[in-house]
A and B are shown apart, each in its own frame.
Chain A
């Protein structure tokens, strides 16, 4: 490195006021801005020794730009505004001496003297007012937040209690199931042999085959219905969403075809309601399909097929036999004694009394004992098992819900969001009302008719890898994903940006790019108490 040749500077032609050597230097660095005894100064990175005269001479000398803290001559450095009476702050060097008075630099030190007034008093006052207002909101919000936290704790207790209660119910239910199982097993085994024989009947076999076919048909039918529904939605979206201006005949044909098929008016005519439309409605009514005598309509099918499929064929078979043959001898259950060795009969009679009383109690057999059969016993068992399952599920849910309340990825470490689970907030933007059901789903509902679209289901809090889960800023962003797919585009997604506010509210909705929505809103759940907030970084929050 060849040193600068130091010679007396030529007379300054510029009348610009030479800034003081420490202009733009922050207090903690000011000790470094002193000349050596030789009248030199070393760049802060140590790379170069320059004349003290070159510091803040509006000409960049150091590689790190440290010789020009106050002039903007060195790119990408920082200028410190003292802002006496207010809060000192840094601005980028690109804003120094650019002719604009920076709001952040209320003392006007960023421009040559005389350009910018010192507004620190006014700005400081205004800042204080603004800050006070913010603090007020924060305090109010924090109160609500505490109530949310309290709610979360109550909720946890409630859920735990519920789980406990359920556990007790489960115990009882388990016993009950056990008993019913015994009964069912017995009835089952008792009737098994006879049943097996009957089941060989061609009629029963044929019924099974029919049942199977009907089931398959139903499954296929449902599949088709779903597919048709999905196709209908796609075509509806195409119909309402396509741009007729593009004059794409393929799209136009598709839309017209769909409209004809679905009996919809042409989209361009919607809103131009005339008398003509009523006529066409009448016509629609006439076109209704004519059905064969006794054939089921689509609605009938929906209603009746499930019932048909649920038919208990064994009962049916038995009833059928009853109907065809002479009255059957007493039900197997009541006539078992005839098959038993005499020695067991007394014990059996005891058991039978208990069993029948149980069965009667559960409505499986009538007191006269004539209608009892194994399938009814099965049914009772099945119902009891279902109840048990549902109890267990409820308990699991209650337990896991209780745990989830304090999951940082869920309702926050303090459970402050639990209260808002499923809370729906709306924002009317004129054409649409947007509905955010927190932790559930975001929807776009048209105000003037049309299809409601899902904009996405709750996916996560702030997914950015730069934000640590559980930190306050983690809860300033929610992501909803996999909404209804856009025509010719991606699935709709929402980013919900939240700040502390007294109310739970959606403030703005913007579709920043196609199918990507940005919502902003407020929630008291984000209002940390002033102490919490103030000390979160171990230092007071002093931002402008």
Chain B
């Protein structure tokens, strides 16, 4: 009996173990050779009494381009005088300074194509720059106020960006710059005979397999002060059962980037952590390992960790009450980033990448808005999504058959719950051969899609990047014949790994020959070659597993010594890889029709620039409160990284959330740009119609609220499609001078709508605290209760019962909503609008509305409606609400790459919605009962007034409400309503 009970305990332990992050699957810094070397370098610098970077500019080599815009020079390292480096600094038109450094004339070439994939175009270099050289340095002064300065100090090499004489960003200020040059492997035959004594200098005291790789160098090493005594994992590295052959030897890049005057940093998604990045170094650091950027399929990731996740954006924002700046360190290889604060006011970061050139952009700001714009100029703005993709997405691994899909749709309709998209995970496919329907369970995929589409809905179907190695699988066969599959380290043949279908290979999207082929796969019309004819234009695509996830690979991904197009190793391009897949899928789906129509593609892996190709989600989260909470922060962080179209799986991918958690999760999801419920195959079904009362009704109301607010979301996407401003705006973006808001990451504003939301992400919560950073009135969205903020910041406490979501409309906003429930968003096309005018303290309000067909690219030709609704004081006590045409006023910045010269208000889209009107106007916070309400030039309207607190009062309480019935003004026309 005893043995049995013991066994029971063991099984229990194993069972618990299996429900957790598999730490041993992923490297820590100390298990990664180049990270270890980088951190050791930093540790030596810290311990040294004096420390000077060995890198310096050779002043005799300075060259300034003929147009005076580009400065370049040779850089030498005192460690290796025989090795040559080249430095180049350019200032772009928008003030961004780009610093590039590469080894010149080396044994091999460092990877230098990351910019080619991430940037939308070669940035325009400012010609208004003048470089001035002195003995010690060279500098350029620029900016409207001539207050920005880029200084390159020669010895040691140090690059800094200053504003108003204050240092904003400093490169190599701590002397941690180190570009490991290419070298020939010296077979240290004698050295290996004398193994290192046990325990000596084992890095960080961790016994790890690759310690064996170290080679003791006997002779006194003049470079040891900088590089250390031992050669650490330069030529080979073992992790678990995998050995990375490192044929190119060491080529890592270490760089310290300091923000001497910025005490808070944000960005470098994707990590499950707070928005204001916690420290990884220094006393009492939150984390002990650096943040890692190495796109990884992390099973059941931790809710608070610097471990790398599915995507990487090497962009970091540094913020203070004085300014916001950012660095974009454009590297596609594995990168580790340490963050520490020498003082409360400064931030030191240290970036160590495995390969690639130094290509770093210094974004001068000085406001967060400027930084977003500057970053968007580099990598592009988020694409204007299909309108329906902002609706509710219902997903599950898996809806098991076409009848299952139909039944789920039927149940939504029976409950009159809106939904736009039904999703199919991997089990639709025969043997996980994507595109190939399982004809037993999905015998009629086209009819099924049509049955969904008849209600204005769409299907999203998964297509992963791994191709089952089976000759009867057209996708694999064609790719294999074209020779466009990723190659193993030999550079010959096809790399073979394991994923869902078993033995698989991966298309090398770095190979241009793969592009047309991939697009051809999605053609619906039958052609000569196989294509996905069992599909319709209502089918859109989900790209999962594109880190890439390889079940039997090192760290669940590809070996780094795999070979891609151009002979580059996988290590060079790993973080970029996933973006190319969603990029090509995006193009493929768009080009199914002629002219192309807007595609929807969801990706799990991403890189800088992925915002151009659709939406992302935060991967396989857990159904826990912690994950719900951190998901909000992760979506905010993605927005800062340019990827606004983001969301977390509602309900949590793993586990069976109890009804309370599910309700809260719907509240979270409904206020994320991408709103999808998803569930693991082992979970119970949890579609909203399965809930019992009262939960079902609450979720139904949340779904409907999302649809009511769809015009707001679409309008917010318009803005970011032009400016790159994140859709979800954390406190520091809205109130950059309010220090108390810098760490707040659990409440946010949506676009420029004036909506402020604080989702509840904890159990048994019945009230919430909301921080108001300004002296302004905020109205509870549901009750119109007026709350007052304060200039120095104020926390208010509001009720947050399960059916209550803390949602506020900031005084001074006009919100356009559509209040009629429909089955799906396309069916709302002709519904009238309600305008909610939330008066500011000063008695005014403003809001915008953007509409287009939501599907084609006609909006780029000017087929849209873009209005401003402005409420201003008129006369002594009156208020005038009018609608103005923003399209006509600002055609060049209307939407999504449509730099129009003129806007034609009589465009085809407008004609199609000519009759769409405003059915109701609600004015909140009027000081008293009006005497008359009229459309300007028209007769008196029908209205109702409920007295209450006025916007300009100091009081709190339910605000006064004026409801104007059906003014019958058209949404696309200029009009004015005058309230006396």
B25's closest neighbor in chain A, by CB? A247
Q: Is B216 an interface residue (CB 8 A)?
A: no
- Is A510 within 8 A of B400, CB to CB? yes
* Contacting residue for B942 out of A6, A72, A489, CB 8 A: A6
Measured between beta carbons, the chain A residues less than 8 angstroms from B823 are 94-95, 98
Q: Is B684 an interface residue (CB 8 A)?
A: yes
Given contacts A76-B416, A94-B822, contact A10 B941 (CB under 8 A): yes
> A51 to nearest B CB, angstroms?
8
Q: Is A512 an interface residue (CB 8 A)?
A: yes
> A193 to nearest B CB, angstroms?
45
Given contacts A57-B966, A58-B966, A76-B821, contact A245 B940 (CB under 8 A): no
- Is A4 within 8 A of B917, CB to CB? no
Q: Is B681 an interface residue (CB 8 A)?
A: yes
- List CB contacts (< 8 Å) of B821-853 with chain A: 821-823, 827-832
- Is B969 within 8 A of A13, CB to CB? yes
- Is B968 within 8 A of A12, CB to CB? yes
Q: Is A298 an interface residue (CB 8 A)?
A: no
- List CB contacts (< 8 Å) of A220-238 with chain B: none
> A246 to nearest B CB, angstroms?
7
With the chains together, A53 CA to B767 CA distance in Å?
A: 44
Selecting from B321-329, B496-504, B667-675, the interface stretch reads B496-504
- Is A429 within 8 A of B938, CB to CB? no
Measured between beta carbons, the chain A residues less than 8 angstroms from B455 are 100
B680's closest neighbor in chain A, by CB? A514
Measured between beta carbons, the chain B residues less than 8 angstroms from A75 are 704, 819-821
- Is B942 within 8 A of A5, CB to CB? yes
Measured between beta carbons, the chain B residues less than 8 angstroms from A99 are 827, 829-830
Measured between beta carbons, the chain B residues less than 8 angstroms from A92 are 416
Selecting from B170-178, B267-275, B778-786, B943-951, the interface stretch reads B943-951
B947's closest neighbor in chain A, by CB? A2
Measured between beta carbons, the chain B residues less than 8 angstroms from A57 are 966
Given contacts A2-B944, A14-B915, contact A73 B820 (CB under 8 A): yes
- Is A61 within 8 A of B400, CB to CB? no
> A270 to nearest B CB, angstroms?
14
A510's closest neighbor in chain B, by CB? B400
- Is B967 within 8 A of A10, CB to CB? yes
> B653 to nearest A CB, angstroms?
14
Q: Is B696 an interface residue (CB 8 A)?
A: no
B967's closest neighbor in chain A, by CB? A10
With the chains together, A516 CA to B681 CA distance in Å?
A: 11
* Contacting residue for A247 out of B551, B965, B969, CB 8 A: B551
Measured between beta carbons, the chain A residues less than 8 angstroms from B440 are 429-430
- Is B965 within 8 A of A4, CB to CB? yes
Measured between beta carbons, the chain A residues less than 8 angstroms from B967 are 10
- Is B456 within 8 A of A100, CB to CB? yes
Q: Can you give 6 A-B contacts (C-beta < 8 A)?
A: A7-B942, A14-B968, A59-B920, A73-B820, A92-B416, A512-B404
Q: Knowing that A10-B968, A73-B820, A508-B401 are A-B contacts, what are 7 other residue pairs whose CB atoms are under 8 Å apart, sorted by A's residue number?
A: A9-B942, A10-B938, A10-B939, A75-B819, A245-B498, A510-B403, A514-B683
Q: Is A248 an interface residue (CB 8 A)?
A: yes
Q: Is A289 an interface residue (CB 8 A)?
A: no
With the chains together, A189 CA to B684 CA distance in Å?
A: 68
Q: Is A16 an interface residue (CB 8 A)?
A: yes
Measured between beta carbons, the chain A residues less than 8 angstroms from B791 are none
- List CB contacts (< 8 Å) of B486-511 with chain A: 498-500, 502
* Contacting residue for B18 out of A6, A244, A248, CB 8 A: A248
> B288 to nearest A CB, angstroms?
26
* Contacting residue for A7 out of B820, B821, B829, B940, CB 8 A: B940
- Is A8 within 8 A of B939, CB to CB? yes
* Contacting residue for A94 out of B416, B684, B941, B944, CB 8 A: B416
Measured between beta carbons, the chain A residues less than 8 angstroms from B827 are 98-100
> A105 to nearest B CB, angstroms?
14
Q: Is B119 an interface residue (CB 8 A)?
A: no
Given contacts A10-B968, A94-B821, A97-B830, contact A508 B403 (CB under 8 A): yes
> A7 to nearest B CB, angstroms?
4
* Max chain A C-beta neighbours (<10 A), residue from B403, B681, B827: B827
- Is A512 within 8 A of B685, CB to CB? yes
Q: Is A38 an interface residue (CB 8 A)?
A: no
Measured between beta carbons, the chain B residues less than 8 angstroms from A246 are 551
- Is A514 within 8 A of B681, CB to CB? yes
- Is B821 within 8 A of A513, CB to CB? no
- Is A245 within 8 A of B499, CB to CB? yes
- Is B915 within 8 A of A513, CB to CB? no
- Is A11 within 8 A of B938, CB to CB? yes
With the chains together, A58 CA to B500 CA distance in Å?
A: 53
Measured between beta carbons, the chain B residues less than 8 angstroms from A512 are 400, 404, 685
A14's closest neighbor in chain B, by CB? B915
Q: Is A511 an interface residue (CB 8 A)?
A: yes
> A371 to nearest B CB, angstroms?
48
B438's closest neighbor in chain A, by CB? A430
Q: Is A250 an interface residue (CB 8 A)?
A: yes
Q: Is A15 an interface residue (CB 8 A)?
A: yes
Q: Is B764 an interface residue (CB 8 A)?
A: no
- Is A5 within 8 A of B940, CB to CB? yes
Q: Is B974 an interface residue (CB 8 A)?
A: no
- List CB contacts (< 8 Å) of A46-97 with chain B: 54, 57-59, 61, 72-73, 75-76, 92, 94-95, 97
With the chains together, A250 CA to B681 CA distance in Å?
A: 22
With the chains together, A510 CA to B399 CA distance in Å?
A: 10
Measured between beta carbons, the chain B residues less than 8 angstroms from A514 are 681-683
- Digitize B914-943: 1 where CB-to-A-CB distance is under 8 Å, 0 elsewhere: 010101100000000000000100111111
Given contacts A2-B946, A10-B941, A95-B823, contact A73 B915 (CB under 8 A): no
B945's closest neighbor in chain A, by CB? A2
Nearest 7 CB-CB pairings of A with B: A59-B966, A98-B827, A7-B940, A245-B551, A10-B938, A94-B821, A10-B939
* Max chain B C-beta neighbours (<10 A), residue from A4, A13, A100, A247: A13
Measured between beta carbons, the chain A residues less than 8 angstroms from B969 are 13
> A10 to nearest B CB, angstroms?
4
Measured between beta carbons, the chain B residues less than 8 angstroms from A15 are 915
* Max chain B C-beta neighbours (<10 A), residue from A72, A94, A430: A94
Given contacts A4-B942, A10-B967, contact A59 B919 (CB under 8 A): yes
With the chains together, A72 CA to B818 CA distance in Å?
A: 13
Measured between beta carbons, the chain A residues less than 8 angstroms from B970 are 13-14
Measured between beta carbons, the chain B residues less than 8 angstroms from A510 are 400-401, 403-404
> A1 to nearest B CB, angstroms?
9
Measured between beta carbons, the chain B residues less than 8 angstroms from A59 are 919-920, 965-966
A429's closest neighbor in chain B, by CB? B440
Measured between beta carbons, the chain B residues less than 8 angstroms from A513 are 681, 683-685
Measured between beta carbons, the chain A residues less than 8 angstroms from B704 are 75
- Digitize B799-833: 1 where CB-to-A-CB distance is under 8 Å, 0 elsewhere: 00000000000000000000111110001111110
- List CB contacts (< 8 Å) of A1-52 with chain B: 2, 4-16
With the chains together, A98 CA to B824 CA distance in Å?
A: 10
A7's closest neighbor in chain B, by CB? B940
A250's closest neighbor in chain B, by CB? B14
A103's closest neighbor in chain B, by CB? B454
- Is A489 within 8 A of B682, CB to CB? yes
* Max chain A C-beta neighbours (<10 A), residue from B455, B821, B938: B821
Measured between beta carbons, the chain A residues less than 8 angstroms from B416 are 76, 92, 94
Q: Is B28 an interface residue (CB 8 A)?
A: no
Q: Is B534 an interface residue (CB 8 A)?
A: no
* Max chain A C-beta neighbours (<10 A), residue from B18, B403, B965: B965
- List CB contacts (< 8 Å) of A92-136 with chain B: 92, 94-95, 97-100
Q: Is B552 an interface residue (CB 8 A)?
A: yes
With the chains together, A61 CA to B404 CA distance in Å?
A: 40
> B420 to nearest A CB, angstroms?
14
With the chains together, A516 CA to B502 CA distance in Å?
A: 26
With the chains together, A12 CA to B552 CA distance in Å?
A: 68
* Max chain B C-beta neighbours (<10 A), residue from A8, A247, A430, A514: A247
With the chains together, A55 CA to B829 CA distance in Å?
A: 24
With the chains together, A14 CA to B18 CA distance in Å?
A: 63
